[in-house]
Amino acid sequence: MKEKLFANAIEENVARIRERIENACIKAGRDVSEVTLMGVSKTVEAERVNQAIAAGIHVLGENRVQELLQKKPLLHLDDVSIHLIGHLQTNKVKMIVGEVDLIHSVDSVHLAEAIEKESEKKDLVSHILVEINIGEESSKSGVSFDQTYELIDQISRFPHLKIDGLMCIPPISEDHTVVRQYFSKMHQMFLDIDSKKIDNVSMSILSMGMSSDFEDAIREGSTMVRVGTSLFGGRNYNI
């Protein structure tokens, strides 16, 4: 990397991640503007999240509803959108609808229906992604690959919901070819759903890739990478 002085470690990390994104885009023959870098700020205190915003991060991802709502008033959010990326329980829907720009983790009609009802009550439209359990792992949330079409068809009938795309967290693997196969399967489904031109459904966001695999995800068509550790360093869940 070119010699440059950074105000802090986070600014330097953003520069390094952007460089890696750029290189992955070049390898994939994609334009860098197609890929949004989300800063995953779970467990990170507001002051450091604000440093990331100052360093040019425009999208933040939080996992837990309570943490998100507590932190939100402390953040400099002009021009910054905040997304919920963690599993959402139905009983937290009331708290989160209207508070985030996108919910990445809708994986059942039951949950979608709760978001629909709350959105109607608040007279707004909620933007969501459908989370797919691409590795069919019992430990993970997400709809199974085979049931995705049916779920999207059902959700598309809710007038206060808009499906903006798909999200996944693939199984952990050291083998990049294995990980890329999962991402590729996601991308094919993303394109296939897009080609169906379903009402209330636009495939504009393919949310996949984290610190360990975002380059693979970009090679396979990701439009939003969710990066935590490489941006903020290791997380301490005990604070």
Ligand X SMILES: *Cc1c(COP(=O)(O)O)cnc(C)c1O
Q: Which residues bind ligand X (CB under 6 A)?
A: 40, 42, 63, 85-86, 169, 210-212, 226-230
Q: Are strands 201-207 and 59-62 parallel, antiparallel or unpaired?
A: unpaired
SS (H, E, C) 37-76: EEEECCCCCHHHHHHHHHCCCCEEEECCHHHHHHHHHHCC
**Residue 235: CB minimum distance to ligand X, A:** 7
Q: Which residue is nearest to ligand X (CB)?
A: 228
Q: Which two tokens stand for residue 102?
A: 């996108």
- Matching residue, tokens 């720009």: 101
**CA–CA gap between residue 127 and residue 5 (Å, rounded):** 39
Q: Which two tokens stand for residue 54?
A: 């100052």
**Residue 87: CB minimum distance to ligand X, A:** 9
Name the residue nearer to ligand X (CB basis): 102 or 158: 102
Name the residue nearer to ligand X (CB basis): 202 or 212: 212
Query: Counting every residue, how long is the chain?
Result: 239
Name the residue nearer to ligand X (CB basis): 187 or 226: 226
**Residue 121: CB minimum distance to ligand X, A:** 27
**Residue 199: CB minimum distance to ligand X, A:** 28
Q: Are strands 36-40 and 224-227 parallel, antiparallel or unpaired?
A: parallel
Tell me the CA distances in angstroms from 51 to 6, 8, 37, 78, 170, one per residue in order: 12, 8, 15, 14, 29
Name the residue nearer to ligand X (CB basis): 170 or 221: 170
**Residue 226: CB minimum distance to ligand X, A:** 4
**Residue 10: CB minimum distance to ligand X, A:** 14
**Residue 38: CB minimum distance to ligand X, A:** 8
Name the residue nearer to ligand X (CB basis): 106 or 169: 169
Q: Which of 89, 86, 95 is nearest to 118 (CA)?
A: 95
Judge contact between 97 and 118, C-beta under 8 A: yes
Q: What's the N-to-C CA distance of the chain in angstroms?
A: 34
Name the residue nearer to ligand X (CB basis): 118 or 213: 213
Question: DSSP states of 124-137 as a string?
Answer: --EEEEEEEETT--
Name the residue nearer to ligand X (CB basis): 118 or 131: 131
